[in-house]
Amino acid sequence: MNAFLTDMAASLPEAAETGFALTGPLGGLRTGGQVRRVASGALDSLGDRVAAGFAAAGPQAVIGGALPFDRDGQDCLWISSRRRPDRLSIVPQQPARALSLRPEPAPAGYAQIVAKALRVMEHDAGRADALRKIVLARTLHYQAAEPIPVEGLRARLAEDPAVTAFRVALPGVSGPRWLVGGSPELLVQKKGARVVSNPLAGSSPRRFDPVSDAQSCSALASSEKDRREHAMVVEFILDTLSPWCRNVSAPQGTGLTSTRSMWHLGTRIEGDLKDPETPSALLAAALHPTPAVCGLPAARANDLIHQLEAVDREFYAGAVGWCAADGDGAWYVAIRCADISGDCARLYAGAGIVPGSDPAAETAETGNKFAAMLAALGLPADTALQLND
């Protein structure tokens, strides 16, 4: 067998618990036919492993899965002998019964790490490599009374037409493990020579009452702090894509975009590749991590994330997506997601911190970002805002 493919089916409980599926505004795709793991590795070897995978599996194959947040971490990619349109099971399914939901860290602990990051920024002022932005995350540990129905959860997330609802089988320690989420953020799509990215950064919550909802939207539109936070991401993506492209720009500028639970600032970036066969996986690897999930300068933000965050991100804030043999594909920022093993799940949410951020407001923002996943799990969407420890 080709050294770049490993047959994982034997070590997983059921053959069905392999592969990935994605459904969203750009269409749906799931693995089909024979599905195998691509030998895992760090991002720097992704191009070689993807090329070897297609050389072994042929031009009908599709490679996809999850890239971890850490560039040096091990990815989890699947190669499927053919791709199938995703047929989401839209049969309404009862969510599992909840037993407990525990914030890790407690909201007050999260506010403290935000305050620490702000002190680093203050201390840095004037330095050439000053920390300008850092994205800090917190988690909720959810325990259900029975196994969480993964496809049912994904179907509930997919009810929001603004998100791409995904599931990726992950290497489980004892039994099946999945990354499941509904991402509103396109890291990169590549179709022929065309490349598109749609970064989001800058957030405010959706409100039930239309007047309050419009106020939340206009407060975000006029927030200087959020515009600053957003502009860093756009600049980074334009700079990173530019060597790969003949032209790249953001012709429509920055606008407001929404999911069912959040408003965001968003910018559509478009370009034409110099080499139309550039694999989408390579573009995703070049862009990851953007300042929408890490910070600027990236190395300093990354170090501080490791020092301050109590729970390892693993696949949260990495990327999920797919790549075909001709390079076409789409990758999404792995946010609004949970790492699910049987009857427990870890939910993640982060917020961008810049000078001027307020720890309490960032704690509330992360609370609001849990809403979509909590609602899909059958819990009140504002549960995270009510938890204190």
Ligand X SMILES: C=C(O[C@@H]1C=C(C(=O)O)C=C[C@H]1O)C(=O)O
Residues labelled catalytic: 133, 185
Using alpha carbons only, what angle is made at residue 293 by residues 232 and 319, rounded to the nearest 5 degrees?
120
Q: Least CB distance from residue 18 to ligand X, whole Å?
A: 27
Candidate list 22, 38, 325, 349; residue touching ligand X; CB under 6 A: 349
Q: Least CB distance from residue 68 to ligand X, whole Å?
A: 15
Residue the block writes with tokens 């810049």: 354
In whole angstroms, give the CA distance from residue 213 to residue 215: 5
Q: Least CB distance from residue 13 to ligand X, whole Å?
A: 30
First to last CA, the chain: 50
* Closer by beta carbon to ligand X, 328 or else 365: 365
Q: Please identify, among the stretches 70-78, 113-121, 198-206, 298-306, the one whose residues bind ligand X according to the rule CB under 6 A.
A: 198-206
If one asks whether residue 369 binds ligand X (CB under 6 A), the answer comes out as: yes
In whole angstroms, give the CA distance from residue 103 to residue 310: 11
* Closer by beta carbon to ligand X, 176 or else 352: 352
If one asks whether residue 285 binds ligand X (CB under 6 A), the answer comes out as: no
CA distances from 344 to 65, 192, 238, 372 (A): 21, 41, 39, 17
Interface positions, 231-270, toward ligand X (CB under 6 A): 264
If one asks whether residue 351 binds ligand X (CB under 6 A), the answer comes out as: yes
Q: Please identify, among the stretches 250-258, 302-310, 318-326, 346-354, the one whose residues bind ligand X according to the rule CB under 6 A.
A: 346-354
Helix axes 46-57, 280-287, angle to 10 degrees: 160
Q: Please identify, among the stretches 11-19, 159-167, 242-250, 350-358, the one whose residues bind ligand X according to the rule CB under 6 A.
A: 350-358
If one asks whether residue 111 binds ligand X (CB under 6 A), the answer comes out as: no
Interface mask toward ligand X for 290-329; x: CB under 6 A? --xx------------------------------------
In whole angstroms, give the CA distance from residue 70 to residue 199: 19
Of 287, 298, 362, 293, nearest in space to 131 by CA: 298
Candidate list 197, 198, 203, 267; residue touching ligand X; CB under 6 A: 203
Q: Least CB distance from residue 138 to ligand X, whole Å?
A: 9
* Closer by beta carbon to ligand X, 21 or else 349: 349
Q: Least CB distance from residue 327 to ligand X, whole Å?
A: 25
Interface positions, 42-101, toward ligand X (CB under 6 A): none
User: Which residues have a Cβ under 8 Å from the Cβ of 276 and sit 6 or more positions away?
Assistant: 192, 193, 327
Candidate list 65, 103, 176, 202; residue touching ligand X; CB under 6 A: 202
Residue the block writes with tokens 């530019």: 242
Coil, strand or helix at 160: coil
Q: Site for ligand X (CB under 6 A): how many residues?
A: 17
If one asks whether residue 201 binds ligand X (CB under 6 A), the answer comes out as: yes
* Closer by beta carbon to ligand X, 6 or else 240: 240
Candidate list 352, 371, 375, 379; residue touching ligand X; CB under 6 A: 352
Candidate list 75, 160, 185, 270; residue touching ligand X; CB under 6 A: 185
Candidate list 37, 167, 336, 346; residue touching ligand X; CB under 6 A: 336
CA distances from 72 to 25, 42, 68 (A): 31, 5, 8
* Residue 80: strand pairing partners: 35, 62
Of 322, 246, 382, 378, nearest in space to 28 by CA: 322
Preceding omega of 289 cis (within 30 degrees of 0): yes
Cβ-contact 284, 276 below 8 angstroms: no
In whole angstroms, give the CA distance from residue 285 to residue 90: 32
Q: Please identify, among the stretches 54-62, 167-175, 275-283, 343-351, the one whose residues bind ligand X according to the rule CB under 6 A.
A: 343-351
In whole angstroms, give the CA distance from residue 56 to residue 276: 22
* Closer by beta carbon to ligand X, 80 or else 258: 258
Binding residues for ligand X, rule: CB under 6 A, are 135, 137, 185, 200-203, 264, 292-293, 335-336, 349-352, 369
